[in-house]
Structure 1
Amino acid sequence: MLDKMVFRSDDLAAADRFDHRSELSGRTHAPMELCSDHADDFRAAQGVLDLGAVTVRSARFQPLVFRRTPKLIRQSDPEVYHLSLVVRGGGAGVWRHRETQYVPDDLFINSSPLPNDVHSTGDPVQTVALEVPKALLPLPRDMAGRVVGATVSARDGMGALLAGFLTHLIADPTAYRPADRPRLAAIVTDLVAALFAHILEAGDRLPPENHRRALTLRIQAFIREHLHDPHLTPATIAAAHHISTSYLHRLFQDEDATVAAWIRRLRLEAARRDLADPALRTIPIHAIAARWGFPRAADFSRAHRAAYGTTPKDHRHQALHHRENSVQELPASGKRCLDATHS
């Protein structure tokens, strides 16, 4: 099962709680200054679910001001997006380009490289937060600014899909195994990409190049969602998005692969993860290949050898042998996971 690290301020003396929380916030990979009117007897609790590159957190705390200054950004910037579902309480985010108010069932979007003040209200404040590396969601700087601080409802549409998944995930992490981490992280990343695409497409005044990038993000999320379909082709993708196949290929000219190559790479990566999963060791290789859109085992074997220089059988044997002969340590959440949650 997955572990959820839990922090409770009640484990500390009342006089030490806020100073301890502030010190932890200042030492994280994205340090922040904290201010609170409840510093004399600060109360907070936080659960952290580490999915590798992606982190999900649940938090309950008394009202705070989180401040990320240019000096702190120069000190350390992990280049991540922060998304938080406001479950209870509210607040406001203040950036140079925007100020946005938040209420329960809103999604709050922030970015670590941007100076900001986040004010929370309510006692207690409750959030479910998500941290995703910007490298997994590449957006031009001007488009990132349009996403950060955007008003997003978690009551319907793409916001509800993401919020529902996060709430379910953090509520019962024991339902998942450590080997599920990369799969869960991929699902979360896809949902965030789809949400960003929705936000960007909603802007009536976006220039054409921004609409194209938003459409590309939506198409990439669609591809990940339908990788299991052996009939997923450039033609079916184009038809699903009401564009021509030639326009689809033009959209991918700025990517690192053609549409077909992008699909094949994602399928191979997914199949390799399953082949290396001890829990799936009894599943035949041809069944795993079919699960990820390779109905013919010979085609899968050739594609795997061409991409990685080894056969699927050899990869499975080496991966499982390595697991059996090494002591596996789970990625440590560590103190960095106690950074302040953007509410």
Structure 2
Amino acid sequence: MWSVVSSGGVPAGERFDWYADIISREVMPAALSSERPADFQGEAAVVDLGHLRASKFTLSPLRSRRTPALIRRGDPEQYQLALLRTGVTSMSQHRSACTVGAGDLMLWDTSLPSDNTMHADGGQVRATILMLPRDVLPLRPERLERLLARRIPGDRGIAAILASFMAALEDHAAECEPEELARLGTVAVDLATACLAQHLDAEDRIPAEARAEVLLRRIHAFIEHNLGDPELGPPTIAARHNISVRGLHQLFRGQGETVQARIRRRRLEQCRTDLGRPELAAHRVQSIAARWGFGGPVAFSRAFREAYGLTPTEYRALSAGGPHRDTP
């Protein structure tokens, strides 16, 4: 049977803090944050499957971080394999980063630092998770590290079979007796092992050119998710993806712009969008620039004028006078 905890019976203003405390005490220590804590709703449930457990979550978007200090406070020493049922979430761990949507699978290690952001524009997040003790998977940890924070499409092959199993487990585990749940735990380990092994073998067979393209897409996604970090740059990006700065620059050859140029362009585009949004009219220009990683008003104003032919203030005034148009 599922053991369920829900914020439904908690006063609205206390729900987020209550949920964060439950997760840190009953699951593992984590730093949770929410852009709208007063509107938070969350429900979590766990079921025993013999040598492992499965959990399911339905909650408002939030950010969850596991730092080295939090890991030292408590670590279940598990691999956690999630099937996202609804919503959109981004995970970074062990020099990898990915964004997954409904139907995708994703693996992470509770013993390593991680950062998981559930996107508000994706709506409520619902996920089913296999909580796998490290010793139940017959795959070497150094191989599994290659799959951490990597999107595993759940619409084909063994991954589709595993995703269907996890969805059925969430929907029907409450109907099963303890001995049946233990047998389902064995099935879960076998399917998870087969799915992960298939993706490891497939990765080994990918040509170098295709691996480079996959890595480049991961780097582009990482840049998008970290535009607001003023420290974002080639050294940070290279370190997070376990490559040299020189190798990073080589990846960008033929892209039409350097790494730094891409970061600058995307920051400017985000600033331009925000400057044209009526609901942000009360926000200072420098606040918007800082939100997207620009360090000072002079440098931002100069970069914006070079890109769009107007100062940020002029662009905002022009946008307020009529519908927003993209600047060539």
Q: TM-score with structure 1 length normalisation?
A: 0.57
1:98 alignment partner in structure 2: 96
- 1:47 and 2:45 equivalent? yes
1:192 alignment partner in structure 2: 192
1:88 alignment partner in structure 2: 86
In the TM superposition, what whole-angstrom CA distance separates every residue of 1:43-99 from its partner, at most 9, and x where no partner exists? 012232222332122221111111011111122222111111111111211124111
Question: 1:258-297 maps to which residues of 2 (within 5 A)?
Answer: none
Does the 8 A contact of 1:81 with 1:132 survive in 2?
yes
2:133 alignment partner in structure 1: 133
Q: For the residues of structure 2 that align with 1:66 and 1:98, how far apart are their CA atoms?
A: 16
- The letter for the 2-side match of 1:118 is N
Does the 8 A contact of 1:105 with 1:155 survive in 2?
yes
In the TM superposition, what whole-angstrom CA distance separates every residue of 1:152-194 from its partner, at most 9, and x where no partner exists? 1111111111111111111122432112132111000001110
Question: 1:1-343 maps to which residues of 2 (within 5 A)?
Answer: 3-28=1-26, 30-121=28-119, 122-204=122-204
- The letter for the 1-side match of 2:183 is R
Q: For the residues of structure 1 that align with 2:21 and 2:189, how far apart are their CA atoms?
A: 30
Does the 8 A contact of 2:138 with 2:193 survive in 1?
no
Q: For the residues of structure 2 that align with 1:164 and 1:56, how far apart are their CA atoms?
A: 14
Match of 1:37, SS?
coil
Residues 194, 72 of structure 1: CA spacing in aligned structure 2 closer, same or farther, 3 A cutoff? same
Residues 9, 168 of structure 1: CA spacing in aligned structure 2 closer, same or farther, 3 A cutoff? same
- The letter for the 2-side match of 1:203 is E
Residues 8, 16 of structure 1: CA spacing in aligned structure 2 closer, same or farther, 3 A cutoff? same
Deviation at 1:126, TM superposition (A): 1.2
In the TM superposition, what whole-angstrom CA distance separates every residue of 1:83-127 from its partner, at most 9, and x where no partner exists? 111111112111241111111111011111110100112221111
- The letter for the 2-side match of 1:22 is A
Q: Pick which of 104-113 and 25-34 moved more.
A: 25-34
Unaligned residue ranges in structure 1 (runs of 5+): 207-343
Deviation at 1:20, TM superposition (A): 0.8
Q: For the residues of structure 1 that align with 2:93 and 2:74, how far apart are their CA atoms?
A: 19
- The letter for the 1-side match of 2:124 is P
- The letter for the 2-side match of 1:201 is D
Match of 2:102, SS?
coil
Unaligned residue ranges in structure 2 (runs of 5+): 207-328
In the TM superposition, what whole-angstrom CA distance separates every residue of 1:230-255 from its partner, at most 9, and x where no partner exists? xxxxxxxxxxxxxxxxxxxxxxxxxx
Q: TM-score with structure 2 length normalisation?
A: 0.59
Percent sequence identity over aligned pairs:
30
1:279 alignment partner in structure 2: none
1:222 alignment partner in structure 2: none
Cα-Cα RMSD? 1.7
- The letter for the 2-side match of 1:183 is R
Higher relative contact order at CA 8 Å, sep ≥6: structure 1 or structure 2? 1
In the TM superposition, what whole-angstrom CA distance separates every residue of 1:194-236 from its partner, at most 9, and x where no partner exists? 0111111011369xxxxxxxxxxxxxxxxxxxxxxxxxxxxxx
Does the 8 A contact of 1:25 with 1:33 survive in 2?
no
Residues 139, 174 of structure 1: CA spacing in aligned structure 2 closer, same or farther, 3 A cutoff? closer
Aligned residues, how many?
204
Does the 8 A contact of 1:79 with 1:112 survive in 2?
yes
Match of 1:192, SS?
helix
Residues 146, 65 of structure 1: CA spacing in aligned structure 2 closer, same or farther, 3 A cutoff? same
- The letter for the 2-side match of 1:63 is P
Match of 1:172, SS?
helix
Q: For the residues of structure 2 that align with 1:150 and 1:94, how far apart are their CA atoms?
A: 9
Residues 87, 174 of structure 1: CA spacing in aligned structure 2 closer, same or farther, 3 A cutoff? closer
- The letter for the 2-side match of 1:109 is L
